Each structure stands twice: as structure tokens, then as C-alpha cells.
A and B are shown apart, each in its own frame.
Chain A
């Protein structure tokens, strides 16, 4: 297993106004593996991954302290443009959110068009490749002009994954990507996540521990804004070091 470090947070704190949501998180995220973030609701999972692509700062009055490194470079350094970070660190949200005013094609092409891509064969090819990578191409190839919201929830979520892939990110963040989906759609996304880990660094938030066990290589357990335990997924589930982790994974709370 490739274990170079892709991202790292150092003494990361995050606030919403006066409320502190993350406390002193120091965590390393390895390249080309799936890292799962687990923990009870409200423990800061979403906040954590939203600090990794500077989405956190879009919330009014939200702020952070500490560092987030991407390939060793602090993404919060003054000279860094958050737009560039978000191209390198893509995101898939809890509720599928394809752009309703755009066709399936344009949903995937939107990020590239923002970056200046022109209509044409090259763009068509990237759109097709992204949809293929998201295992959606066969289902929508005849309906590319239909609205992005005209397909099922599971398909919409894969469309959102294709949309993120199209800008060729290095890291993909997923915030409970299956929580709004049925078991069959969930299984498809989980398979897809495993495939993505071959080429991308994936961080997935989930409140479903079986899912974490199924898809991830490493797992981090958060509780009340703190990182309680981090380790290889098997080790963490079979042999938790912390009593809190053990309680959580055995369903004693949360």
C-alpha cells in the first residue's frame, strides 16, 4: 500500500462564530487510499472535510486556525487562491446537488468551462470519460441533454462524482455521499469509491460503520470536535486503542 502523505492538518481548529467545532486536529491523509471519518452526529466530521478544500470559510463568521497541507503546502497561506485548491480537492455532498438549470452534459462540463474550456471534441471526451469513471455513462449516454435533476437520486450522486472528477482533482472529499440513497445505489457508490482510490486520494465521511469498514483503508474517529483515534481500518475496528472508540464502534452510544 502506497503510504505517502497527500494532505495533513496540523493543530487545526475551526469555529462557527463563537462555537468551536474542531479542536487541535492533527491528522495525516495518505495518498491513493480511502480514509473514512467516523463519529457521532455533530462531532465535526463535515466541518473537518470542509476545511480541506476551504469550503468552511464560505459560511459567514466561520474561521480556522492551524494549518492544512496539500503536498506539503499550506492551503491557507496568504498567496493561495481557494479556487485553485477547490479544483485540486473536489467534493461530493451529502444530498446529491446536480445543477438543476444545466443538462447532464453541462453539469459535468461546468468546471472545465469555468477554467476556460471551449465546446468541442476535447470537452466531449472529458465529459464522457468522467461519466465513465463515475460508472454513469451507460445509463445517461443517450440523455446528455436532459436536465441534471431528471435522473434518480443514485444517478444524481454519481453525476456529482463525475462533475468533481471532470476538473481532474487529486483529492475527492465525500460527505456522507450515500445517506440519501437506497441500498442498491449505495452499493454502486461504494464500489465506485474503491475504484477511485486507484487514482485519487479519497476522504469519506460516514456515520455508517459497516460502510467505513467496507470502503476505507484508514479510519479516523472524531468525538466532540476532537480526533480520538486514527489507524488502519481493520486495526481500528478490531482493536481500538481508545475506550471511546470501542464504545462507539460497538454501538454503546451515538
Chain B
């Protein structure tokens, strides 16, 4: 019997292989990180996740990733808080308002920004952005609102806040260009229907375009969040790299540390197997965090965003 090989079969076969290898790589990563961190997990157990010390001195070892886990969440949160509205503004402007003569070059420019290596962002952050943030935001805010814990301390520009800002800037190209694509893909018939019942341009954008594109835009935000959580180089260069309890992100204007920056700073110099395994454990936490956020986002897209009444409130 002869088996007929069609293009369709070849495609399905290769697609299957790619999907399978993605799954294998993911499982293998979890496996390698778990075995690599067995030592630290066995020794410290839950304290590894909840502890705040990071002390490699022999005899008094203590490893806890909580400050860096929180540092990752806080810097990524700042990045989303600042980056998403800006990205959406840019996307809306480009897709709905800008004439073609502006839209095409600016869209291209923004996509180009996505290609800038992160070490370049880091250098710019270290030599330029740091001082802007320090002089125009941190010092005035600290002077006036320093009594609020998150604005307290003695700002000097290499801290959690600056890291959040640089992350915000770094996610804008991705979030803005994907959102622009999503908005451009909203069928014109929907806009026309809305205009025909007396919607203004802004209402059309707000209640129809963004509503129709919401799962795509959420996807864009998740992509940005993924980048912010995993970003290493630029953050390492501006976050101040605090270690241990000092790295707890209690004030935005103090040095902190994220999981990636912790690993980048320390892994290669880790002298003992236990310390090495602590860094691998930090990697495991980072991977699990990314997976968790992606799963939550998926649930959000499928459950929460299904059609419900009252899109125009």
C-alpha cells in the first residue's frame, strides 16, 4: 500500500512537531530548573519563597526570593501602569487619527524601537534617563510626598521607579504596534454602524473599536508584561541591585532587585553548589511566575471578555 503525502499532511506533521517541541522545551525547562534547585528547596523549603535574606556566607547561609519576586511584580506593574496607556494612545492615534503620511513612518519607527538591544536602553537609562527621573520626578515627589512610605528615602535615580520607567519605555513598541494592528483589523462596518446612530469619533473608539479589539489588546499587554517580567540587562543597569531585606520594594525610590537581575548579577560568581542552586531556584520562580500570568491572562480572555450586555455604559 502506498501512502499519499499531500501538502496538507506535511504541514500538519511539521506543525505537530513544532507544537510538541515547544511543550518538550517547556517541560524540560521546568525539570532542569527543579532538579537544579533541589538543594536549596530541600534545605529551606517554603522559606525560599517567603524569606528575605540572601546570605551566601558559609555556615550562615540563608536564601529567600521574596524581595526579588516582589521587585519583579512592582517594576512590571509600573511598566504596565505607565506603558499601557501610552501604547494605547499611540496605537489609537496611529490607527484612527493620523493621516497616512504620518502613520506609515511613525509606525515603522516604533516597530524599529522594538529592535533596539536592551543593553542600549540600559546605557541610556544609566546616563540620561536616571537624571531626568531623579531631578524632575523623584526629588520633587520625595520633597512633597516623602511621608508616604512608597515615596520615602533619599532618591538618587538608580531604583525601582527608574527600572519601572525604563521597562515602560521598552514595552511600548510591542504593545503599541500589536494594538495598532488589532485596531486596524476592526471591521469598518462596525465603525460605520456606530456613527450611524450618532456616536462621536471618541465614542466609536472607546465603545466599539476598543471593545471589539479587547482580547487582541489584552494579548498585546500580556506580550508587554512578558517582556517586562523577563527583561534583564536594562533593569540590572538601573535598579540599584540591592540584596537581602534591603531589596524589599517598600519605597519606589530605593534600590531594588528583580528575579532576572538577581540571577544576572550573581549566578556566574556563585561559589558554592548551594548558592548556585539558589539562583536556579530564582529562575524556577521566574518561570512559574511567567506561566501563571499567562494562564491567568488566558482565563481572562476566554471567561471574562465573552460578550456581555452593557458594553455602552
Contact = CB atoms under 8 A, between A and B. Distances in A.
Nearest to A108: B197
18 contacts: A58-B191, A58-B192, A93-B193, A97-B189, A97-B190, A97-B192, A97-B193, A101-B208, A101-B211, A101-B307, A106-B309, A106-B311, A109-B312, A119-B310, A160-B193, A164-B197, A166-B197, A167-B197
B302 interface: no
A87 B195 CA distance: 9
Given A114-B203, A119-B310, 5 more contacts: A83-B200, A98-B193, A100-B307, A103-B309, A110-B194
Interface in A98-134: 98-103, 105-106, 109-111, 113-115, 119
Q: Name the interface size band of chain B.
A: 20 to 34
A86 to B, nearest CB: 5
A119 B313 CA distance: 9
A3 interface: no
Nearest to A147: B307
A99 B194 contact: yes
Given A95-B189, A114-B312, A101 B212 contact: yes
A86 B309 contact: no
A165 B151 CA distance: 55
A100 B312 contact: no
A119 B214 CA distance: 24
Q: Name the interface size band of chain A.
A: 35 or more
Contact of A102 (B99, B200, B307): B307
A223 to B, nearest CB: 26
B196 interface: yes
A53 B199 contact: no
Nearest to B307: A147
Given A114-B198, A115-B198, A99 B193 contact: yes
Given A93-B189, A95-B189, A102 B312 contact: yes
A250 interface: no
Contacts of B207: 110, 114
B189 A163 contact: no
A100 B212 contact: yes
A106 B312 contact: yes
A214 interface: no
A90 interface: yes
A192 to B, nearest CB: 18
Interface of A: 53, 55, 58, 60, 83-84, 86-87, 90-91, 93, 95, 97-103, 105-106, 109-111, 113-115, 119, 145, 147, 160, 163-164, 166-167
Given A101-B311, A106-B312, A90 B208 contact: no
Contact of A55 (B195, B208, B214): B195
Contacts of B307: 100-103, 147
Contacts of B203: 114
B4 interface: no
A58 B204 CA distance: 12
Nearest to A88: B198
A103 B308 CA distance: 7
Interface string B173-200: 0000000000000010111111111111
A17 to B, nearest CB: 12
